[in-house]
Amino acid sequence: MQLLALVSLLPFFAALVQGCGDHAHDHSHEKRAFPVTALTPPTRALEWGDLNIIHTTDSHGWLLGHQKTSFPEPNYSGDLGDFASFVSHMKQLALEKDVDLLLVDSGDLHDGTGLSDGFPPGGVDGHESNKFLAKLPYDLMSIGNHELYIYANTLDMFQNFAPQLKGRYLSSNVNITVADKHGKPQSVPVGSRFAKFKTRKGRKVTSLGVLFDFTDNDKNTTVQKVSDMVQEKWFFDAIQEEPDLFLLVGHMPVQRDDWPLVFNAVRKVHPTTPILILGGHSHIRDCVQLDGRSMSLESGRYMETVGWMSANLDKKGSKKNITFSRRYLDPNRVTYEFHTRTRNASFDTSSGKSITQGLLQLAEKFDLNFKFGTAPQDFTIDRSPFPSNSSLLSLYAAEAMPVALTINNTRASIPNIMITNSGSQRFDVYAGAFTKNDQLTASPFADSFLFIPNITAGVAKQVLPALNNAGAENRKRALEELLEGRERELYKKGYVDMIFRKWLEEMDRRDGLERRAGQNLTLGYVTKDSCPGVGDDVVHAPLPFFETPDFIGSNAPNVTDDTPIDLVFVDFIEDQLLSILNSLQTAKNFTTTDVQSYTPVLASAVLGLFAQKAWN
Ligand SMILES: *[C@@H]1O[C@H](CO)[C@@H](O)[C@H](O)[C@H]1NC(C)=O
Ligand SMILES: *[C@@H]1O[C@H](CO)[C@@H](O)[C@H](O)[C@H]1NC(C)=O
Ligand SMILES: *[C@@H]1O[C@H](CO)[C@@H](O)[C@H](O)[C@H]1NC(C)=O
Ligand SMILES: *[C@@H]1O[C@H](CO)[C@@H](O)[C@H](O)[C@H]1NC(C)=O
Ligand SMILES: *[C@@H]1O[C@H](CO)[C@@H](O)[C@H](O)[C@H]1NC(C)=O
Ligand SMILES: *[C@@H]1O[C@H](CO)[C@@H](O)[C@H](O)[C@H]1NC(C)=O
Ligand SMILES: *[C@@H]1O[C@H](CO)[C@@H](O)[C@H](O)[C@H]1NC(C)=O
Ligand SMILES: *[C@@H]1O[C@H](CO)[C@@H](O)[C@H](O)[C@H]1NC(C)=O
Ligand SMILES: *[C@@H]1O[C@H](CO)[C@@H](O)[C@H](O)[C@H]1NC(C)=O
Ligand SMILES: *[C@@H]1O[C@H](CO)[C@@H](O)[C@H](O)[C@H]1NC(C)=O
Ligand SMILES: *[C@@H]1O[C@H](CO)[C@@H](O)[C@H](O)[C@H]1NC(C)=O
Ligand SMILES: [Zn+2]
Ligand SMILES: [Zn+2]
């Protein structure tokens, strides 16, 4: 959890990633391999009910799965083609069992990998990758906040994506403004506000697709507060008729958010109708039951989790608790084959294979396999102590910035200290080829670097610790008022990393040491939610979790305290840095007029430039 850095993390969401220029064409054309590592299968079958749901959320472009060989990445190695094969075998099983099976997604299809973000100039984020998602037989999808940071992305969803779902792309409280027939601006729902349909078994379903109270959406998109939405006449009308079940999909965490507003509004009219909720956004595995005839499930992030929910729906009017089950699957071919009783040779469907092929071709078209160098080992964000040789934050701050930012730079010979925020790194870097896709995934924020010349080394050295002290103070306060006050503001802007990291920390603190020492468990997520029984499909030992500072910097140069040096920093933290600098000395009141551009190299290019020099 970070606070000062939180502020500087906001571009995370507007992650407009620059292409990587015209590097020499050193294609490595790594082909996606079937998992080479022997993966252990799950040990227990899924519990099927009358109504069953396969759930995805927050896929953020991870449609080729996780392809690195360092653990636990192989656990998440299933790609969208594998998932499509899985879904079609599961549909077949549902037919054999004569039960319903629905496929549902809770949003955030944009921002995360090269497949979504590595488009050439003039393209639209997610436009190509979403074509593959549209090939899956989704029954319902709902809009996420990452569909709304950039108007062009929302427009693409409105014009090209939503129509393919034929009324089942839901945006109950999200509108887009477009020109009407006469050229006049008109606000209309991006998808549908609700959907009513019958399942194959004839069950009547009423669905909504709700987004949390998001405030950082682009102009010409509108997010209505959930508390206002439930007062709308259309909402009231939509829920009047009693279906066999309400299926509420939405981009909203199942805990600590506004689901109860929607749930209570429905419950007021229908005290016993089953309500199934499928949420997302905070990137964790979670489950809660708002009452005995309802279950809410959230299925992680980045195609690291496929969620399963089943319910045995009883007679209308029953007041008894419904029997639900839920499971968090590690998406890989072994998991998929286990649950569909197929083998490697019988698993792939032709549609699944063609999705995989298409995604590989897209990766090639976007040049995502362009190789900067070979990472000698894993560099992780939360899993390594800071500072350390295996910390990505140490690598970026102490090694990569000093190399990349001084390339072709006339100030290279002047001693310096370089500072950035730790939130600038989004995903771990793993041993092996470091490609354009890896760079887009790990370090996507296209921020620039500034500097103030002639700061004495004695003062400059105090800046980083002072920034982190201020950050720690704020963090303590933030913990106390989680999701209140200032933090609530950031939450509304879409910042949820604090919840994800707290989840990781808790699973490690609970029994991480013990489980890892046992050596009979493999690494992965260890979920403790508030639904009965064990949720994880494969029992794991959690990854170690280490605290990291909010700000990171290069090592101070070995010069005397009175030596004038360059204080270099990422533009994102300019305000905080100036105020800290002015609190550390009184000789001069530094303002933005003292700040200059240090290099045209952007933060998102640093790892690649470093890899070209150091990892070849
Ligand atoms: C998950 O990863 C571990 C290594 O941490 C591996 O041994 C295990 O077989 C994997 N499990 C599945 C279901 O893929
Ligand atoms: C919003 O969209 C309308 C219709 O396309 C357009 O006329 C208007 O200029 C847009 N407003 C902004 C602030 O971009
Ligand atoms: C969304 O669009 C509908 C249909 O045009 C309109 O009636 C409604 O007022 C809009 N809602 C918001 C919050 O803009
Ligand atoms: C029904 O479910 C509710 C909520 O999960 C629980 O509090 C209650 O004890 C359950 N009742 C029975 C009879 O199991
Ligand atoms: C699985 O099947 C594919 C072809 O569908 C084949 O290329 C691959 O080698 C097989 N893997 C194993 C472990 O048998
Ligand atoms: C880190 O790397 C340096 C240089 O390669 C080496 O001397 C040092 O022992 C390493 N430290 C750890 C903790 O591995
Ligand atoms: C540095 O200059 C060389 C020679 O002009 C050029 O080829 C290279 O692209 C430049 N590198 C960067 C990062 O600007
Ligand atoms: C650098 O700063 C020192 C005092 O901190 C001042 O005396 C000196 O004139 C400055 N030099 C330049 C080139 O600004
Ligand atoms: C695995 O190790 C843990 C921790 O040492 C232990 O509690 C558990 O019983 C072991 N499980 C198996 C299946 O051996
Ligand atoms: C720092 O510089 C001094 C003087 O040039 C030198 O004696 C010392 O060894 C250097 N220390 C390091 C860690 O390089
Ligand atoms: C420093 O400069 C800023 C911007 O001009 C100004 O707002 C602030 O009051 C100044 N502080 C002092 C102590 O002079
Ligand atoms: Zn997300
Ligand atoms: Zn989100």
Helices and strands of the chain, counted as H and E runs = 19, 24
Give the C-alpha separation, 205 to 208, whole Å: 10
- Among the listed residues 300, 312, 423, the one whose alpha carbon sits nearest the alpha carbon of residue 2: 423
Q: Distance, CA 454 to ligand 8 centroid (Å)?
A: 6
Single-letter residue type at 407: I
Ligand in closest contact with the CA of 185: 2
Q: Distance, CA 484 to ligand 3 centroid (Å)?
A: 29
Kind plus residue range of the DSSP H or E element containing 248:
strand 245-251
**What pLDDT score does 490 carry?**
77
Quick check: 101 pLDDT over 90?
Answer: yes
Joined together, the tokens standing for residue 167 give: 């009324």
Q: Distance, CA 511 to ligand 9 centroid (Å)?
A: 12
Give me the CATH topology for the region 44-365.
Answer: Purple Acid Phosphatase; chain A, domain 2 (3.60.21)
**What pLDDT score does 493 carry?**
86
- Helix, strand, or coil here: 163? helix
Residue predicted with more confidence, 16 or 340:
340
- Closest residue to atom 11 of ligand 11, CA basis: 589
How would you write 20-73 as a 3-class SS string? CCCCCCCECCCCCCCCCCCCCCCCCCCCCCCEEEEEECCCCCCCCCCCCCCCCH
**Cβ 299 vs Cβ 529: under 8 Å:** no
Give the C-alpha separation, 527 to 542, whole Å: 9
Angle, helices 80-97/350-365, rounded to nearest 10 degrees: 160
Ligand in closest contact with the CA of 192: 3
**Cβ 63 vs Cβ 80: under 8 Å:** yes
- Helix, strand, or coil here: 139? coil
- Closest residue to atom 3 of ligand 8, CA basis: 454
**What pLDDT score does 479 carry?**
52
Residue predicted with more confidence, 483 or 516:
516
Give domain 371-468+549-614's CATH number out of 3.40.1050.10, 3.90.780.10, 3.40.605.10, 3.40.220.10: 3.90.780.10
Kind plus residue range of the DSSP H or E element containing 141:
strand 140-142
Whole-number percent of the chain with pLDDT over 70: 91
Mean local confidence (pLDDT), 378-402: 98
Which pairs from 579-588 meet CB under 8 Å and 24+ separation?
A: 580/463, 580/466, 580/467, 580/470, 581/452, 581/455, 581/459, 581/463, 583/466, 584/459, 584/462, 584/463, 584/466, 585/459
Mean local confidence (pLDDT), 487-500: 82
- Extended beta strands in 257-331, E state: 275-279, 285-288, 294-299, 306-312, 323-329
Quick check: 198 pLDDT over 50?
Answer: yes
Say if ligand 3 is within 6 A of residue 188 CB.
Answer: yes
547-570 in b/e form (b: 16+ CB < 10 A) is ebbbbbbbeebeeeeeeebbbbbb
Q: Distance, CA 195 to ligand 3 centroid (Å)?
A: 17
Q: Which residues contact 289 (CB under 8 A, 6 or more apart)?
A: 295, 296, 324, 530, 531
| Pairing of β 185-189 and β 174-179 | antiparallel
pLDDT band, very low/low/confident/very high, at 12 (cuts 50, 70, 90): very low
Q: Distance, CA 537 to ligand 4 centroid (Å)?
A: 24
Q: Distance, CA 389 to ligand 6 centroid (Å)?
A: 6
Atom of ligand 7 minimally distant from the CA of 609:
13
Q: Which residues line ligand 2 (CB under 6 A)?
A: 177-179, 185, 219-220
User: Ligand 8 test: best mutation among 452, 454, 459, most atoms within 8 Å of CB?
Assistant: 454
Quick check: 35 pLDDT over 90?
Answer: no
**What pLDDT score does 492 carry?**
86
CA 381 to chain centroid = 15
Taking the alpha carbons at both ends of the chain, their separation in whole angstroms is 35
| Pairing of β 169-170 and β 140-142 | parallel
- Give the torsion sign (CA, 226, 231, 233, 235): positive
Quick check: 1 pLDDT over 60?
Answer: no
**What pLDDT score does 6 carry?**
32
Mean local confidence (pLDDT), 407-424: 96
Kind plus residue range of the DSSP H or E element containing 454:
strand 449-456
Say if ligand 3 is within 6 A of residue 231 CB.
Answer: no
Kind plus residue range of the DSSP H or E element containing 350:
helix 350-365
Give the C-alpha separation, 392 to 430, whole Å: 10
- Closest residue to atom 14 of ligand 8, CA basis: 454
DSSP class of 493: T
Query: Which of 105-119, 396-410, 474-488 has the weakest average pLDDT?
Result: 474-488
- Give the torsion sign (CA, 47, 107, 284, 275): negative
Query: Which of 476-480, 554-558, 602-606 has the weakest average pLDDT?
Result: 476-480
pLDDT band, very low/low/confident/very high, at 488 (cuts 50, 70, 90): confident
Ligand in closest contact with the CA of 293: 4
- Closest residue to atom 6 of ligand 5, CA basis: 34
Single-letter residue type at 604: S
Q: What is the pLDDT of residues 268-321, one digit of tens each?
A: 999 999 999 999 999 999 999 999 999 999 999 999 999 999 999 988 889 999
- Helix, strand, or coil here: 450? strand
Residues in the 5 Å CB sphere of ion ligand 13: 108, 144-145, 281
Q: Which residues line ligand 1 (CB under 6 A)?
A: 39-40, 71-72, 74-75, 330, 332, 334-335, 522-524, 538
- Closest residue to atom 4 of ligand 3, CA basis: 188
Atom of ligand 9 minimally distant from the CA of 520:
1
**What pLDDT score does 9 carry?**
31
Q: Distance, CA 399 to ligand 6 centroid (Å)?
A: 13
List phi, psi (to 5°) of 241. -65, 140
Q: Distance, CA 557 to ligand 10 centroid (Å)?
A: 10
**What pLDDT score does 480 carry?**
54
Q: Which residues contact 41 (CB under 8 A, 6 or more apart)?
A: 334, 335, 337, 338
Say if ligand 4 is within 6 A of residue 294 CB.
Answer: no
**Cβ 308 vs Cβ 51: under 8 Å:** no
Mean local confidence (pLDDT), 494-514: 92
Q: Distance, CA 382 to ligand 7 centroid (Å)?
A: 33
490-500 in b/e form (b: 16+ CB < 10 A) is bbbbbbbbbbb
Rg (CA), the chain: 25
**What pLDDT score does 62 carry?**
98
Say if ligand 3 is within 6 A of residue 187 CB.
Answer: yes
Mean local confidence (pLDDT), 454-469: 96
Atom of ligand 3 minimally distant from the CA of 224:
13
Mean local confidence (pLDDT), 418-446: 96
Atom of ligand 8 minimally distant from the CA of 564:
1
**What pLDDT score does 256 carry?**
74
Say if ligand 4 is within 6 A of residue 26 CB.
Answer: no
Q: What is the pLDDT of residues 565-586, one digit of tens each?
A: 999 999 999 999 999 999 999 9
**Cβ 266 vs Cβ 157: under 8 Å:** no
Say if ligand 4 is within 6 A of residue 530 CB.
Answer: no
Mean local confidence (pLDDT), 458-484: 76
Instruction: Output the furthest CA–CA distance in the chain (Å, rounded).
Output: 81
Atom of ligand 1 minimally distant from the CA of 35:
14
Quick check: 342 pLDDT over 70?
Answer: yes
Q: Which residues line ligand 7 (CB under 6 A)?
A: 407-408, 601, 609
- Closest residue to atom 7 of ligand 5, CA basis: 34
- Closest residue to atom 10 of ligand 4, CA basis: 292
Which pairs from 471-478 meet CB under 8 Å and 24+ separation?
A: 471/2, 471/3, 471/4, 471/5, 471/549, 471/550, 471/551, 472/550, 474/3, 474/4, 475/1, 475/2, 475/3, 475/550, 477/3, 478/1, 478/3, 478/6
Q: Which residues contact 373 (CB under 8 A, 6 or more apart)?
A: 434, 611, 612, 614, 615, 616
Mean local confidence (pLDDT), 465-473: 84
Average of per-residue pLDDT values in the chain: 91
- Closest residue to atom 10 of ligand 2, CA basis: 220
Angle, helices 457-480/574-584, rounded to nearest 10 degrees: 120
**Cβ 76 vs Cβ 56: under 8 Å:** no
**Count of other CB atoms within 10 angstroms of residue 128:** 18
Query: Which of 121-135, 205-219, 463-477 has the weakest average pLDDT?
Result: 463-477
Q: Residue 179 half-sphere exposure, CB side, CA atoms within 13 Å?
A: 3
Say if ligand 4 is within 6 A of residue 292 CB.
Answer: yes
- Helix, strand, or coil here: 208? strand
Q: Distance, CA 3 to ligand 12 centroid (Å)?
A: 19
- Ordered by start, the domain boundaries in the chain are 44-365, 371-468+549-614
Q: Distance, CA 293 to ligand 4 centroid (Å)?
A: 9
Quick check: 426 pLDDT over 50?
Answer: yes
Q: Residue 397 half-sphere exposure, CB side, CA atoms within 13 Å?
A: 30
Atom of ligand 7 minimally distant from the CA of 601:
13
Ligand in closest contact with the CA of 605: 7
Say if ligand 9 is within 6 A of residue 43 CB.
Answer: no
- Closest residue to atom 3 of ligand 9, CA basis: 518
**Cβ 230 vs Cβ 265: under 8 Å:** yes
